[in-house]
Homo-oligomer: A and B are copies of this chain.
Amino acid sequence: MNAEAGAAASPERLARAYLLRAAEPPAPALVRFVAEHGPVDAAARVRRGDTPPPVTSETAARRELDLARRDLAAGAEQGARLVTPEDDDWPAWPLLTLDVASGRGVRGTAPPLALWVRGTASLDTAVEHAVAIVGARAATDYGEHTAAEFAHGLAESGAVVFSGAAYGIDGAAHRGALASRGTTVAVLGCGLDVGYPAGHVGLLNRVARQGAVVSEYPPGTPPARHRFLVRNRLIAALTAGTVVVEAGRRSGARNTATTAGALGKVVMAVPGPVGSALSVGCHELIRDARATLVASVPDVAESVGPLGNGLAARGGTVRRATDGLDPESLRVYEALDTRGARTPEVVATEAGVELSRVRAVLPALELDGLARRSDSGWCRTGEDGRAAAGPG
């Protein structure tokens, strides 16, 4: 998409690329500091150590390491882009739940300073109908089959399946979504270029082609257990709900579920045979009323609700307001913003659609209730009025 070689990058982008390396996420003090001073000023202060003690403590070990230009160049080379809060496709709404939880003092829920993204999907669109499917790495055939079936059905009904690209349930979920030609997003606990897990490099390439691979970790960051736990908050935050398919008594998937619950998201769990150690975690979540039992795709749709505008109750099929749009109209629609108005010229550039076509498509979108005209241009009304809705 954007050519983001270090040389061409805006000061904000360079600052955030630097800040992503300056502190190990989640870095609540640094995030607050950036919100207060803006990324450019914040980065300058961090660089010279001119920060309040909590920020200093988070950044002391790495503040002298400025690889921003190198990271942006490497990312561009690898087909990855840095999406920042200053960008139009920053998934601001869903990530707001992290701001809220972090502000309430829920540990480890500070939002990311920016996200590395590789793939064809636009993040802010992907999160509109997003469901996470997570679970054990050492899954059973039953678990993998169920994860793939659920992902296939959800993707087929228009949802975007988020997961963590791990072996077992995660991989099965991505594969199920890919098989239905749907969109799927993998959120990693390492750099996008690290190729982890090794056996899923091909899968991650397919995910990027049909969706996106996302990480807050700079290129080259190795995987680590704490990073997977930290990553889990992003999976929870970026989706309307999390489905746990197979989880042992102690499992990272349960951590995602717990975080999703703390963020006010819908937590769901798939039951299994009572003799299976891999279903113990799911059964405990359900038994303790920390998760809703889901035994089918319609169950998930019913539980997630808001996502399920069109997702009918049990047995139904999903419809989106944008379902009837031809690819060109969809691109124009996607190029609109929900918050501010844009001129047809800007939309044309953003969508990569000829200006004359944009001028023809916009009134059609308006008739469909998908776009609104104002004095300063056009904006997206959101399908089904989600534009004005709170975080999911």
Cα–Cα, bound, A304→B58 (Å): 49
- Kindly identify which residue among B65, B137, B279 contacts A295, using a CB–CB cutoff of 8 Å: B279
A-B contact pairs, 24 of them (CB 8 A): A24-B351, A56-B354, A57-B354, A60-B355, A61-B349, A61-B353, A65-B349, A108-B327, A223-B390, A224-B335, A225-B391, A226-B334, A227-B391, A249-B317, A252-B392, A271-B271, A271-B286, A272-B273, A274-B295, A280-B295, A283-B293, A287-B293, A287-B295, A287-B299
Are B334 and A24 in contact (CB-based, < 8 A)? no
- Please name the residue on chain B nearest to A65 by beta carbon: B349
A228 at the interface (CB under 8 A from B): yes
- Please name the residue on chain B nearest to A61 by beta carbon: B348
Are A62 and B226 in contact (CB-based, < 8 A)? no
A339 at the interface (CB under 8 A from B): no
- In the assembly, how many copies of this chain are there? 2
Write the residues of chain A forming the contact surface with B, with a CB cutoff of 8 angstroms. Answer: 23-24, 56-58, 60-62, 65, 107-108, 137, 142, 145-146, 189, 197, 223-229, 249-252, 270-275, 279-280, 283, 286-287, 292-296, 299, 317-318, 320, 327, 330-331, 334-335, 348-349, 351-355, 357-358, 390-392
Cα–Cα, bound, A52→B358 (Å): 20
- Kindly identify which residue among B146, B225, B227 contacts A274, using a CB–CB cutoff of 8 Å: B146
Cβ–Cβ < 8 Å partners of A223 in chain B: 390-391
* A346 nearest CB across to chain B (Å): 10
Q: A226-B327, A271-B271 are in contact. List 19 more A-B contacts (CB 8 A).
A: A24-B353, A56-B354, A57-B357, A60-B355, A62-B349, A107-B327, A146-B275, A223-B390, A226-B334, A228-B391, A228-B392, A229-B392, A250-B317, A251-B392, A252-B392, A271-B279, A272-B272, A283-B293, A286-B286
* A76 nearest CB across to chain B (Å): 25
Cα–Cα, bound, A201→B113 (Å): 72
- Kindly identify which residue among B249, B279, B354 contacts A60, using a CB–CB cutoff of 8 Å: B354
Are A286 and B293 in contact (CB-based, < 8 A)? yes
From A108, A275, A294, A392, residue with most partner B Cβ within 10 Å: A392
Cα–Cα, bound, A62→B358 (Å): 13
Tell whether A225 pairs with B334 under 8 Å between CB atoms, given A137-B390, A352-B62: yes
Report, nearest first, the 6 A-B pairs whose CB atoms are least far apart.
A24-B352, A271-B271, A60-B354, A225-B391, A283-B295, A61-B348
Are B352 and A23 in contact (CB-based, < 8 A)? yes
From A108, A225, A252, A354, residue with most partner B Cβ within 10 Å: A225
Are B283 and A274 in contact (CB-based, < 8 A)? no
- Please name the residue on chain B nearest to A167 by beta carbon: B390
Cα–Cα, bound, A57→B223 (Å): 77
